[in-house]
Chains A and B, each alone.
Chain A
Amino acid sequence: MTYLSDCEKCMQANPKIQRQQMGCGYESAIDADFVWMPEGMRLRPGETMKHCAGYTCRLPEVIEIARARVHWDKGSIESFCDGRPTDAMLLGIEVLDASANELQGALMTPRSEGGLRGEE
């Protein structure tokens, strides 16, 4: 979790083979069943993950979507986008918003009921 927002630190602390096994986006892919993701993150049926969530969150397009969502939430997406948002931008916002709602729900649900609220 320490390295979620700092790929450079993670690369210094973990050897290449270990990061490959965790799905590090900065390394070539290897056949691994496990891709690192933070606690509470779950894949829906049929979903797959190619890269570690930390790598994904730091990609410029993902950061752009996160910024756009703030403005979309306040009804000013066209101002942020300097015009009509592209289809890809809208899709990205929808995916992120749905995921954020899902996480919020999990944070409100006790661990005993499959959520993330309360002590481990």
Chain B
Amino acid sequence: MSFAPLSLQATYALISALDPSLNLPSDDAEKDNAIRIARETGKWDSLVKVGEQPTTFWMRQLKGTDRTWLIGHQSRNRLTDLELCEIAFRLAIDKIDNFGSFHTVKRSKVEGRDLATNEVLDAIYAVNADPSIGQTIVAELGGVVIQRLMEGVAPKS
């Protein structure tokens, strides 16, 4: 199984630590480390259970103006942390692979920004009929997007 490597230019793939197809260490610190290494190196193969395919979230590269807008949007609307992660996720998500029958991310304009509609969040929150699981996934992946956007992709060393 191959995954597109991380990129600073093209869309990049994210996989949630909650994905049931991943075989992760039970210790939290070891699990975080395994996810960090896979995200940095793009090497997920050793973490994926044999014969299984994880759900892959393809994210767009965001620009400096997205950063400015996101900061302003948060300030104007006093967003909670989860709401901020949802907005960042909707800004960045391009498509989702291996997510049941869901394939196409529809988009709409919000304050001139091109965001995915809430349909994508509703589909994620419907997983296992337990919105809290989907919210954890969106918080995790939206958090990655925010970190890349706010802190930049820092020199890796």
Chains A and B bind each other: yes
Q: Give residues in A with beta carbon < 8 Å to B.
A: 25-28, 35, 49-51, 53, 56, 58-65, 68, 81-82, 85-89, 91-92, 95
Q: Indicate if B23 sits at the interface (CB-CB under 8 A).
A: no
B42 touching A49 by the CB < 8 A rule?
no
Best-buried of A27, A53, A58, A60 by chain B (most CB within 10 Å): A60
> With A28-B30, A95-B155 in contact, do A61 and B63 touch (Cβ < 8 Å)?
no
Nearest Cβ distance between residue A81 and chain B, in whole angstroms?
A: 5
Cβ contacts under 8 Å, B7 to chain A: 60-61, 64
Give CA–CA (A53, B37) in the complex, Å: 15
Query: Main secondary structure on chain B at its contact with chain A?
Result: loop
Nearest Cβ distance between residue A78 and chain B, in whole angstroms?
A: 11
> With A28-B33, A59-B41 in contact, do A86 and B63 touch (Cβ < 8 Å)?
yes
When C-beta atoms are compared, the residue in chain B nearest to A62 turns out to be B156
A26 touching B37 by the CB < 8 A rule?
yes
Q: Give residues in B with beta carbon < 8 Å to A.
A: 5-9, 29-30, 33, 37, 40-42, 61, 63-64, 148, 152-153, 155-157
Give CA–CA (A62, B147) in the complex, Å: 18
Nearest Cβ distance between residue A47 and chain B, in whole angstroms?
A: 9
Cβ contacts under 8 Å, A87 to chain B: 63-64, 152
> With A25-B40, A49-B157 in contact, do A88 and B5 touch (Cβ < 8 Å)?
no
Question: Could you list some 19 contacts between A and B, CB below 8 A?
Answer: A27-B33, A28-B29, A28-B30, A50-B157, A56-B157, A60-B41, A61-B5, A61-B7, A64-B5, A64-B7, A64-B9, A65-B8, A81-B9, A86-B8, A86-B9, A87-B152, A88-B148, A89-B9, A91-B152
Give CA–CA (A89, B10) in the complex, Å: 10
When C-beta atoms are compared, the residue in chain B nearest to A95 turns out to be B155
| The residue from A59, A86, A91 contacting B156, defined by CB atoms under 8 A apart | A59
Give CA–CA (A88, B153) in the complex, Å: 6
